[in-house]
Amino acid sequence: MAGTNGKQKTVRDMLLSLALIGLMAGVVYLFIPHDDHTPDLKRVDYSVELLTARRAATYPVAAPAGLPDSWKATSVRYQGDHFDSWHLGFQDPKGQYVAIEQSTQKASTFIEDASQGAQETTVTQTIGGRTWQRYTGGRYDALVLKAKGSTTVVTGTASFTQLATMAEALKTR
């Protein structure tokens, strides 16, 4: 019976070790800060890039006018060497992402990239006197306006209502 006592000690020691490890993991978890809200994104000033894009692009570059301060511009870029690509990203008042994308790239390729895989629907929406085509099903939903020489995509994780709000605010001068 001498062998049984040694096995019992081993099992007991193992269970005590597991309990101690679990207790220590719990203590560490309690002292590590947990912040589950979305990070506060820095507001960017896009006025210089907008002026540059409007001077250089071969199409009328769109940017919002009259949006409330609750819409926060978070990213901007103009790439003249890449199909005159214009990007302006925002965080809407509900914390969702909305972006304006414009380019002279082939429309189907550009829309696929800008919406990250959304497909054209049969739904159109008249916004500001212009007819926008709805795209859905990709990473982002999108409103698309095809014009002579360029394509404008308002896309993001926001609702179509918020995308339409952005599309309505777009001005080219």
pLDDT tens per residue, range 45-102: 999 999 999 999 999 999 999 999 999 999 999 999 989 999 999 999 999 999 999 9
82: left (phi over 0), alpha (psi -120 to 50) or beta: beta
Among candidate residues 82, 98, 81, 77, the one with its CA nearest the CA of residue 167: 98
Whether this model's pTM surpasses 0.95: no
The pLDDT, as a whole number, for residue 1 is 52
The pLDDT, as a whole number, for residue 32 is 83
d(CA 110, CA 53): 18
Contact of 102 with 153, CB cutoff 8 Å:
yes
Contact of 71 with 92, CB cutoff 8 Å:
yes
d(CA 134, CA 31): 47
Around 3, how many Cα atoms within 13 Å sit in the side-chain half-sphere? 0
85 forms beta bridges with: 79
The pLDDT, as a whole number, for residue 33 is 78
Task: Give Rg (Cα) of the chain.
Answer: 26
Q: For 113-133, what is each residue's pLDDT tens digit?
A: 999 999 999 999 999 999 999
Indicate whether 39 pLDDT > 80: no
Pick 164 or 31 by higher pLDDT.
164
